[in-house]
Amino acid sequence: MGSELDRRAFRDLSYGLYIVTSREGNRLNGQIVNTVIQVTSDPPRVAVIINKKNLTHEFITQSGVFGVSVLDDTTTMTFIGPFGFRSGRDGDKFAGVPFKKGSTGVPLVTEHSLSLLEAKVIDCVDLGTHSLFVGDVVSSEVLKTGNPLTYHFYHEVLKGKSPPNAPTFMSHQPL
Ligand SMILES: Cc1cc2nc3c(=O)[nH]c(=O)nc-3n(C[C@H](O)[C@H](O)[C@H](O)COP(=O)(O)O)c2cc1C
């Protein structure tokens, strides 16, 4: 059954693009994700899916908090690169990137960002390669109006790829 799947069908699912951040003590980190969704309104809760190999996964598990920056369509591949294709284990991703600290102590990227959210983890679902973290939203702020960056725009206009740690990775596609 699995070998008969037409993986192109998954490409028709719509997503936005976000920087999800966390901290471990004073260490800060963040990564690109396409998997932020609001899951309930009352109380306001969001969920995010993070690969277990990522430093961000380690930080969210340790601190129990995460931040979300909603990227806009002025975001460039140069800006996305360090957050989406490198690990914070190999260097500080926040050097030279404008951000502010939220009430939970997580960094919130302010460049190319429309809105900011912070959440406290209330549940974690083991998905095998990834974890799904569900969090209560404890702060939210709109920085400016604009167009959210979509996964479609990322693929079609920015010609971006999905790396192996992304849930939407397609192994037959060259990076
Ligand atoms: C467009 C795009 C979407 C991505 N979506 C996700 C995602 O939803 N979840 C995830 O765990 N990784 C995702 N990634 C991969 C991470 O951003 C990448 O593995 C990052 O280097 C992890 O960094 P860290 O080890 O510092 O946490 C995505 C990357 C890109 C470029």
Q: Is residue 89 part of a domain?
A: yes
Q: What is the pLDDT of residue 32?
A: 98
On the question of pLDDT at 174 being above 90, the answer is: no
On the question of pLDDT at 175 being above 80, the answer is: no
| Ligand 1 contact via 131 beta carbon (within 6 Å) | no
Q: What is the pLDDT of residue 27?
A: 96
| Ligand 1 contact via 61 beta carbon (within 6 Å) | no
* Domain tally, the chain: 1
| Ligand 1 contact via 31 beta carbon (within 6 Å) | yes
Q: What is the pLDDT of residue 173?
A: 57
Interval between CA 167 and ligand 1 midpoint (Å) = 8
pTM of the prediction? 0.96
User: Residue 114, CB half-sphere, CA atoms under 13 Å: how many?
Assistant: 15
Q: Is residue 171 part of a domain?
A: no
pLDDT category of residue 59 using cuts at 50, 70 and 90? very high
| Ligand 1 contact via 106 beta carbon (within 6 Å) | no
On the question of pLDDT at 172 being above 70, the answer is: no
Q: Is residue 141 part of a domain?
A: yes
For atom 7 of ligand 1, which residue has the closest CA?
33
Q: Is residue 38 part of a domain?
A: yes
Nearest to 163 by CA among 6, 32, 3: 32
Angle formed at CA 48 by CA 46 and CA 71, multiple of 5 degrees: 85
| Ligand 1 contact via 60 beta carbon (within 6 Å) | no
SS (H, E, C) the chain: CHHHCCHHHHHHCCCECEEEEEEECCEEEEEEECCCEEEEECCEEEEEEEECCCHHHHHHHHHCEEEEEEEECCCCHHHHHHHHHCCHHHCCCCCCCCEEECCCCCEEECCCEEEEEEEEEEEEEECCCEEEEEEEEEEEEECCCCCECEHHHHHHCCCCCCCCCCCCCCCCCCC
> Residue 173 phi/psi, 5° resolution?
-95, 130
| Ligand 1 contact via 160 beta carbon (within 6 Å) | yes
Task: Give per-residue pLDDT as tens, 28-39.
Answer: 999 999 999 999
Task: Give per-residue pLDDT as tens, 80-127.
Answer: 999 999 999 999 999 999 999 999 999 999 999 999 999 999 999 999
Domain containing 34 equals 13-156
**CATH number of the domain bearing residue 25:** 2.30.110.10
pLDDT category of residue 2 using cuts at 50, 70 and 90? low
Interval between CA 146 and ligand 1 midpoint (Å) = 23
For atom 24 of ligand 1, which residue has the closest CA?
87
Interval between CA 63 and ligand 1 midpoint (Å) = 19
| Ligand 1 contact via 34 beta carbon (within 6 Å) | yes
Q: Is residue 47 part of a domain?
A: yes
Rounded Cα gap, residues 41 and 36, in angstroms: 14
Q: Is residue 24 part of a domain?
A: yes
Q: Is residue 34 part of a domain?
A: yes
Rounded Cα gap, residues 103 and 135, in angstroms: 15
Q: Is residue 7 part of a domain?
A: no
What does the pLDDT average to over 139-153?
Answer: 97
